[in-house]
Homo-oligomer: A and B are copies of this chain.
Amino acid sequence: MSSPRDTLLRKFAADLGLDPAEAIVAVPKYEPTVEHDGQLFVSGQIPRLRGEVAVVGRIGAETDIEAGRQAARLCVVRALMAVRQSAGTLERVQRVLRMNVYLRCAAEFAALSEVADAASEILYAVFKPDGGHTRTTVGVLQLPKNAAVELDLLVALRPPERSYSTF
């Protein structure tokens, strides 16, 4: 019953130690996602794992590049879990339009792209051959709860029930 993309997402989530059935819960003051006119906006995700922020500190100082890459993977998988939760299935994703990646890093750390690549690689794997997306990566001073990475997504969705469409 599970689609190829949803199966892959479940595998990535399990590999990272995430519970694939975990709901990306609505926080009190904003929503995990908002859908409008074929676009699904996903709120900024931090590397939460079993109720805690798994990777904190500055990449290149208190934490290293490989931990940063793992944090980026956790963020993007959580973002995709939010997409699946809202859209029903990742098969409705027509295209990932944009990913913004914010890294908390040391002042002289310059390998930002290498960290963000870990998230992009998962998008390519899940949406192959349509995983292409635009990306902006910046190094910031701080992130919520001292997280090492935060990222958000904008994806284009197909209508939920294409088979009923008469267009």
Contact = CB atoms under 8 A, between A and B. Distances in A.
B139 A30 contact: no
User: How many identical subunits does the complex contain?
Assistant: 3
A76 interface: no
A41 B98 contact: yes
A24 B108 CA distance: 27
A142 B105 contact: yes
A133 interface: yes
The interface size bin for chain A is 35 or more
A143 B139 contact: yes
B95 A141 contact: no
Interface string A83-105: 00000000000111111101101
A31 B97 CA distance: 10
Interface string A126-149: 000000111111111111111000
A43 interface: yes
